[in-house]
Chains A and B, each alone.
Chain A
């Protein structure tokens, strides 16, 4: 059957690249927007590092600006870069190609999702230009201070932040409906759930979590907007602020923290699970070996997804909540380490007796494992309620979460981009520049964050504009901070190498051919490369195996694509395969 013209098939530049309903174009739009806004957040982080490393040397960074940089850096990186890039970027591009669909099931909604996301970004960026500037309440936006005058941006800044978050959540929900429905409804013939690449599993579970967790953030944002604009007292107790008694009465700041972290903790895994999936596929492909313990990996993803909804209050051990909660949340938090550890073991066992090709994507994947492991391990200090006491709100926390949900997901994103770039453009990214980018980023990240843990153990509190005259902080801590700042500036600057490579390779990269990595999964088996509109030409592919048939004994080829009908293969036994 000939592939018919679709109703949303592109006809002009505008419908092809701007108001496009093609998941691949929307994915690129999401990715470019997220990288652009991430660049802003990167610059902000370097500016705040300048103040910490060389206090007072840069007069334009006053205390107000410093707190605004901290806040905007955090919020942009977590929500507008990581969440958007993993789900909107990778999710959009890979889901239909990996499950064998022509597009998302609701293409119009998909387009709307991107434009809502862009609107959210623009509203957020708008807060830089309102009087008083963006909010400086810290990315957790804790009331009462987020909406009181002692905090920068408590006028327009915080309102725009909350509005932007609400819009983002609507956008994420539109996208999420699509991703879930597409994975569950639009898989091609033979593509059982237990034949999905782990990337799809990671994105699917992360999307379901996002759909269930974001409402909590929406609720807290709307209620805080009411408190700020209409004078309600949902989160606001009676306070005397700057010598003035305000009209608020009886609200609960801790209620906000519960709502925020009911979203906030799953959010960590919303970012981590797609990274787990991507890294699993990269390691398997580039080690020319099936992922070790595939079924265990799937179950680990699902169990982590479920458990992550019952650990949120480990962010609140010292918040003043009912202290009995501490026992429950410390226990659940440490239990979640078990499925997470399984994932790490299985990555290691995939490398073991593999045929490891140290390509650029593989370098980033291994970099991910190393940084994720240290970030996960330091999490055990903070999850265990009594060891959290001296470390909470110190630089130890900063180092921990930057390793586990800053550096490691970003390395997974880089690895993913180097890996799938040939799919998107038909060209390879420059190898030398890629390696340069990897080495500076990987080594630099360790140089930044490893020593930072020790500043935290020393007791340096985070979110401090300056540390003048604190007797218990030795002068050497300032020297270490200067070192960290220099490392951060170098790493920040070298991201330009990546951007240059990304832009230049689109036109000047070496042609990649249809499957440069010899990957078995379905997205590399399209009739055209890059895939055309509708992805699969005249007929949808038929799937006969899992996506990990590498180095199968008895075959002459290095791998068997999912569409291969060869009787050989090492997929899990059918009796264990779920429908």
Chain B
């Protein structure tokens, strides 16, 4: 009896949970409304079956539970009933499968007029590439990748010369324009996942994958990596900004200018540290670099250890190194740690830090930033 009550309570609380749950899809921002529709159809059918099955079990328990003098009624099978059930099940399945396959046929056929952009994944950061005035992306290969050519552009390919390279984890898309996103990875599997877009695809080293969508709502959306890609997986952050036509042009022109001046993109992603003194300006540049170079995937700006040590309070501290030695964290220590990673290893961390090509000025900026995190009292910079 208790089980019957529990099953009915279960059904009721499941329905209530569904109705009152604040956790549901984020509002759709692409043309894939049909995916949501298919999902709703599936939810309706499966929800009805879930309720029916549990209620039926509960009713059986109440009606046919063991009592004195009660005996089971033997019935070997019932062909007619079973055929009906099979037929109904097949019908329900078809009702879910058919719209699903229709949507899928659209999902895998990008319209020919779709603009093409490229997203590149690396442990644990994003970069992007847009075709230049010639409208074509140049060819690439992993073997061309070097600190000065992080995109692996083929130097011999003229189509690649004018490509717009965005060495930062943020890309813009024009609203209501179909776009086909080509995906590449230089190390392990990643996945380009923007929940409001609904569609997505893995990034596989050694091949180019793709998916397409038409963004329908302007706004700034988070890109998540949704395929386990190592210890910094959860911090592989990126942003896609859907702009109206005018804003998109402004952004695009800025990218072209940045490219022309051939400097590293250091546009800040987070509000810069306040103050305008030269030291603060340097630290502020360091903060931008920490974002754009993906340092923050492993090093948090707090005391909390991530994949690597947290930066707050790090400067001036004595770190215990693996092997028992200890070292004072000063400018020289940080410089060595940045320019030749893993030469010294702090106890409790893995030697997994990549070597990222930085000029002296940039290293100084990062050191200034790390220093700035230790200069202030802990309370003001700690999160929460």
Contact = CB atoms under 8 A, between A and B. Distances in A.
Interface stretch (B168-176, B246-254, B276-284, B347-355): B347-355
Given A292-B75, A393-B191, A338 B21 contact: no
A136 interface: yes
Contacts of A458: 23-26, 195
Contact of B142 (A245, A346, A363, A386): A245
A243 B307 CA distance: 17
A144 B187 CA distance: 7
A578 interface: no
Interface stretch (A99-107, A146-154, A406-414, A486-494): A146-154
A150 B201 contact: no
A130 interface: no
Contacts of A231: none
A330 B231 CA distance: 32
Interface string B48-84: 0110011011001100111000111111111001100
Interface residues on A, range: 35 or more
Contact of B64 (A346, A351, A552): A351
Contact of B104 (A345, A386, A468): A386
A191 interface: no
B313 interface: no
B14 interface: yes
A295 B77 contact: yes
Interface in A11-64: 56, 59, 62-64
Contacts of A244: 355
Contact of A386 (B76, B107, B352): B107
A239 interface: yes
Interface string A46-85: 0000000000100100111001000000000000000000
Interface string A319-363: 110011011001100110110011011101101111111100001
Interface stretch (A271-279, A459-467, A537-545): A459-467
A381 B191 contact: no
B309 to A, nearest CB: 11
Interface stretch (A2-10, A282-290, A305-313, A418-426): A282-290
B288 interface: no
B100 A387 contact: yes
A351 B231 contact: no
B228 A138 contact: yes
B93 A320 contact: no
Interface in B129-154: 141-143, 145, 147, 152
Contact of B101 (A295, A296, A331, A459): A331
Given A240-B186, A390-B25, A292 B77 contact: yes
Contacts of A476: 22-23
Contact of B206 (A250, A355, A373): A250
Contact of A326 (B3, B32, B75, B108): B108
Contacts of A190: none
B306 interface: yes
Nearest to B9: A443
B337 to A, nearest CB: 14
Given A144-B189, A354-B72, A570-B74, A238 B198 contact: no
A239 B72 contact: no
Contacts of A370: 7, 10, 53-54, 57
Given A142-B228, A370-B10, A477-B23, A348 B123 contact: no
Contacts of A390: 25, 35, 39, 195, 198-200
Interface stretch (B219-227, B258-266, B365-373): B219-227
Question: Which of B71, B196, B199, B232 has its CB near the most chain A CB atoms (within 10 A)?
Answer: B71
Contacts of B100: 330, 384-387
Contact of A454 (B21, B46, B77, B108): B21
Chain B interface category by residue count = 35 or more
A229 to B, nearest CB: 19
Among B70, B93, B124, B203, the most chain A Cβ lie within 10 Å of the Cβ of B93
B85 interface: yes
B86 A457 contact: no
Contacts of B304: 56
A223 interface: no
Contacts of B43: 381
B215 to A, nearest CB: 15
A576 to B, nearest CB: 11
Nearest to B225: A461
Contacts of A97: none
Contacts of B333: none
Interface in B326-384: 348, 350-356, 383
Contacts of B183: 320
A386 B230 contact: no
Nearest to B190: A145
A158 B42 CA distance: 39
27 contacts: A62-B306, A137-B228, A142-B227, A151-B231, A241-B188, A243-B147, A251-B206, A287-B72, A289-B72, A290-B76, A292-B78, A320-B201, A320-B202, A323-B107, A345-B85, A351-B60, A352-B64, A355-B70, A381-B43, A386-B34, A387-B100, A389-B35, A459-B25, A471-B222, A472-B222, A551-B73, A570-B76
List of 3 A-B pairs having minimum Cβ-Cβ separation, nearest first:
A237-B206, A459-B195, A150-B230
Interface of A: 56, 59, 62-64, 67, 132, 136-138, 142, 144-145, 148-152, 237-245, 250-254, 287-290, 292-296, 318-320, 323-324, 326-327, 330-331, 334-335, 337-338, 341-342, 344-346, 348-349, 351-358, 363, 366, 369-370, 373-374, 377-378, 380-381, 384-387, 389-390, 392-394, 439, 442-443, 446, 450-451, 454-455, 457-459, 461, 463-468, 470-472, 474, 476-477, 480, 550-553, 570, 572
Interface of B: 1, 3, 6-7, 10, 14, 17, 21-26, 32, 34-35, 38-39, 42-43, 45-46, 49-50, 53-54, 56-57, 60-61, 64-66, 70-78, 81-82, 85-86, 89-90, 93, 96-97, 99-101, 103-105, 107-108, 122-124, 141-143, 145, 147, 152, 183, 186-189, 191, 193, 195-196, 198-207, 209, 221-222, 224-235, 304-307, 348, 350-356, 383
Given A238-B142, A374-B50, A386-B38, 16 more contacts: A136-B231, A150-B230, A151-B230, A243-B354, A320-B183, A327-B104, A334-B93, A338-B86, A342-B85, A351-B64, A355-B71, A386-B104, A386-B107, A392-B226, A464-B234, A472-B221
